[in-house]
C-alpha cells in the first residue's frame, strides 16, 4: 500500500472510531468514508516554446451535507488522487471543528510551477477552472490557495470563472488579492491559527512564550510566518528546515536574517555549510515541535526520539496513527492538524461572507473573530480529550465529523 493510501486508511479508521463513539451506525460511516465526488481532468496548455503540454488535475468534494464544499488547490509534482481524497476529508473535519457551514473539498494539478514561466502558470490556472467549472461556484465548491499557489493564481482563477459565469463572482474563490475582494489577514491566517492553538496548549502545560525552545519543520508559507510570529513574541527558535536540510542553534536562530534570505519557495539552507539532515531535526532538545511541511514525518520509528512536550501540527497529516499512540503514551500533548491548521479555512470563510455581503472588515475584526473561534474549538476538544481519556486527535475527529453526520441524518441520507 502506498504512503498516500495510508493517509486515507488512517483517516477512515479514526473517522470510524469517532462515529462509533458518537453512536452512529455503519451506514453513516459508509456515507462519509470517501468523497461524494472526484473529478479528474486533463488540461492542455500552450507552453512558451509553442508546444502543447497536457496536465492532470483533480477536484474532490467530500460532503455537502452541511453546505458547499471548501478547500485549496495545490500545484505540485507529487499531487495524486489519494492525496486529494484524504485532504478533502480533512477539510470536512476542519470545517466541523470551527463550526463553519461547509463540507470539505480539495484540488490539485500535477505540475511543478518552479519550472514554468508566469504565463504558463496563468494558462494552466485558467485551464483548470474551465475544466472544473460545472461543479464549482460560490454555492457549490469554493477553492483557495494551497501548496505552490497564491493570491495571484486565485485572481486568475476568479477572473476565468467570472468570464464563464458572465458575472463578477468574487465569492467563487478565497485567498484573493485585497483589491479583488480578498480578506484582511488571510495571508497569515493559517500561521496565526497555529499560534492561537499553541498558546492554549502552552497554557495547559504551564509554559510561557519567552521560556520555550521551538523547532519548526518547514520554512514555506506556513513555517516562515510561524517562525516570524513566534520569534517576535519572544520564543527561541532553535531549529528550522526546508527540503534541502535543517539548521540548528541551541542559542536560537536569527529568524529575521533567515527570512531576508529565503527564496519564494521557502528555501534557505542551501546558503549555509552547517546543515544537518532533516531526520535529525526531530531529535533536537526542545519544548515544542511544529511540523509545518509534508505528511507522515513523525512515525513509530522516530516518535520515541521526540523530546518536545507539545507537538503542534501545522502541516496536513504529519504524524501517523501509530506515532500518535506512542506520543500520547509518553504524555506528549498533540495539537492535531485538523485543529491547529484550521485558521486558513476560518478566514477563508470570513472572506466568503464578506464577498456575499459586499461589506469588508478591518484586520483587527478578522483576528478577533478568528481568535474566538479557535480558542472555543481548542477548549472543546481538550475538554473532550480529558473527560473521556482519549487522545487529542480522536477528540478532534469526534467534534469535526459530528456536524456532517448530524446534517446527513436530518437530510435522510443515512
Return the active site residues. Answer: 106
DSSP run (H or E) holding 382? helix 363-388
Q: What is the DSSP letter of 35?
A: -
- C-alpha dist (Å) from residue 234 to 194, 211, 237, 239: 16, 8, 9, 15
Q: Quick one: which of 99, 12, 103 has its CA closest to 413?
A: 103
* Radius of gyration, alpha carbons of the chain: 20
Q: What is the DSSP letter of 170?
A: G
Angle at 75 between CA 73 and CA 80, to 5 degrees: 85
In 179-287, beta strands by DSSP E = 213-217, 236-242, 245-248
Angle at 93 between CA 90 and CA 96, to 5 degrees: 150
Does residue 80 contact residue 110 with C-beta atoms inside 8 Å?
A: yes
Angle at 18 between CA 12 and CA 21, to 5 degrees: 145
In 181-340, beta strands by DSSP E = 213-217, 236-242, 245-248, 288-291, 310-312, 333-335
Q: Give the separation between CA 96 and CA 66, rounded to whole angstroms.
A: 9
Does residue 392 contact residue 331 with C-beta atoms inside 8 Å?
A: no
Residue 99, class by beta-carbon neighbours within 10 Å (0-12 exposed, 13-18 middle, 19+ buried)?
middle
Amino acid at each position: 500500500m502506498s504512503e498516500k493510501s495510508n493517509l486515507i486508511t488512517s483517516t477512515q479508521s479514526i473517522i470510524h472510531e469517532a462515529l462509533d463513539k458518537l453512536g452512529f451506525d455503519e451506514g453513516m460511516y459508509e456515507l462519509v468514508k470517501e468523497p461524494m465526488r472526484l473529478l479528474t481532468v486533463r488540461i492542455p496548455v500552450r507552453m512558451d516554446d509553442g508546444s502543447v503540454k497536457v496536465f492532470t488535475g483533480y477536484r474532490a468534494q467530500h460532503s455537502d451535507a452541511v453546505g458547499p464544499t471548501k478547500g485549496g488547490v495545490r500545484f505540485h509534482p507529487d499531487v495524486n488522487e489519494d492525496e486529494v481524497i484524504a485532504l478533502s476529508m480533512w477539510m470536512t473535519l476542519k470545517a466541523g471543528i470551527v463550526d463553519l457551514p461547509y463540507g470539505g473539498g480539495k484540488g490539485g494539478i500535477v505540475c511543478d510551477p518552479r519550472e514554468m514561466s508566469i504565463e504558463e502558470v496563468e494558462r494552466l490556472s485558467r485551464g483548470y477552472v474551465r475544466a472544473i467549472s460545472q461543479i464549482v461556484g460560490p454555492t457549490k465548491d469554493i477553492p483557495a490557495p494551497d501548496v505552490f499557489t497564491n493570491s495571484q493564481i486565485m485572481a486568475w482563477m476568479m477572473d476565468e470563472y467570472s468570464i464563464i459565469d458572465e458575472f463578477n463572482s468574487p465569492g467563487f474563490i478565497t485567498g484573493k488579492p485585497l483589491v479583488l475582494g480578498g480578506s484582511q489577514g488571510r495571508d497569515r491566517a493559517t500561521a496565526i491559527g497555529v499560534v492561537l492553538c499553541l498558546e492554549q496548549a502552552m497554557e495547559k502545560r504551564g509554559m510561557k512564550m519567552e521560556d520555550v525552545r521551538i523547532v519548526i519543520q518547514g520554512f514555506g508559507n506556513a513555517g516562515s510566518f510561524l517562525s516570524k510570529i513566534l520569534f517576535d513574541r519572544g520564543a527561541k527558535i532553535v531549529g528550522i528546515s526546508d527540503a534541502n536540510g535543517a539548521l540548528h542553534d541551541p542559542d536560537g536562530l536569527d529568524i529575521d536574517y533567515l527570512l531576508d534570505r529565503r527564496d519564494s519557495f521557502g528555501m534557505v539552507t542551501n546558503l549555509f555549510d552547517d546543515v544537518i539532515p532533516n531526520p535529525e531535526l526531530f531529535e533536537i532538545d526542545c519544548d515544542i515541535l511544529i511540523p509545518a511541511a509534508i505528511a507522515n514525518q513523525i512515525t513509530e520509528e522516530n516518535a520515541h526520539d521526540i523530546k518536545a512536550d507539545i507537538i503542534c501540527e501545522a502541516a496536513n497529516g504529519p504524524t501517523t496513527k501509530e506515532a500518535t499512540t506512542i506520543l500520547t503514551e509518553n504524555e506528549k500533548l498533540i495539537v492535531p492538524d485538523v485543529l491547529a491548521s484550521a485558521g486558513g479555512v476560518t478566514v477563508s470563510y470570513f472572506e466568503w461572507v464578506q464577498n456575499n455581503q459586499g461589506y469588508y472588515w478591518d484586520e483587527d475584526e478578522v483576528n478577533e473573530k478568528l481568535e474566538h473561534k479557535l480558542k472555543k474549538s481548542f477548549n472543546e476538544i481538550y475538554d473532550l480529550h480529558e473527560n473521556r481519556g482519549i487522545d487529542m486527535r480522536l477528540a478532534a475527529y469526534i467534534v469535526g465529523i459530528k456536524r456532517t453526520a448530524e446534517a446527513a441524518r436530518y437530510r435522510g441520507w443515512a
